[in-house]
A and B are shown apart, each in its own frame.
Chain A
Amino acid sequence: GAVVSQHPSRVICKSGTSVKIECRSLDFQATTMFWYRQFPKQSLMLMATSNEGSKATYEQGVEKDKFLINHASLTLSTLTVTSAHPEDSSFYICSASPAGVYNEQFFGPGTRLTVL
């Protein structure tokens, strides 16, 4: 089946530093990747949609300068949390839609970010 990986699975950083999270589709090409944020005991909040080779589309209320998304290839998208603060601590999950497949997303295992 379609597998999506995320790296790292867990990261702890100091306030003010930047953190990069990678999302990879391991056995398929993904024209579209999605980044979600999940707060404790809550649902997933879509942050942005990224299409390979173009700028990401951010949801309302998500700071594009703080959450930098790059989708440079059909198998890799990165989310960089810039100048992280404790309130950015969360569980970040990516998903990927296979090229040519309609209405299907495969989710990564998530990355737990803790900002001290």
Chain B
Amino acid sequence: GDSVTQMEGPVTLSEEAFLTINCTYTATGYPSLFWYVQYPGEGLQLLLKATKADDKGSNKGFEATYRKETTSFHLEKGSVQVSDSAVYFCALSDHQGNDKIIFGKGTRLHILP
């Protein structure tokens, strides 16, 4: 079945460092890809998404490009801030008619001041 694999955390970086969180997926069809962020004690918020190959999703300085050839959707940010500390989930939707979303296990990010 469809699945999402993302790098395990926690990831600890200093403020202004460059961030990459790797994500790869397995899907039988042509999924849409998402990154969600969960701040402490809160629910999930959609950070960015891409619906077709070579699309780049971006928001709040974060970017991810839908790479069909490598089945990847890595999350990047050029200069992280303390406020970016959160758990990041890579996810896909397989368009099977019920909009079901399959999540990766999440990567906890700690940014040190």
Q: A residues bordering B, Cβ < 8 Å? A: 6, 32, 34, 41-44, 46, 49, 57, 93, 95, 97, 102-110
Contact = CB atoms under 8 A, between A and B. Distances in A.
A102 B99 contact: yes
Contacts of A46: 100-101
B70 interface: no
A104 B100 CA distance: 10
Contacts of B101: 34, 46, 95, 105
Contacts of A105: 99, 101
A43 B99 contact: no
Interface of B: 32, 36, 42-46, 51, 89, 93, 95, 98-101, 103-106, 108
Contacts of B46: 106-107
A108 B44 CA distance: 7
Top 6 closest pairs, chain A to chain B, by CB: A109-B43, A107-B44, A110-B43, A43-B105, A107-B43, A43-B103
Contact of A109 (B36, B42, B51, B99): B42
Contacts of A6: 43
A105 B46 CA distance: 9
A102 B104 CA distance: 21
Contacts of B108: 41
B37 to A, nearest CB: 11
Given A93-B43, A108-B43, A109-B43, A103 B99 contact: yes
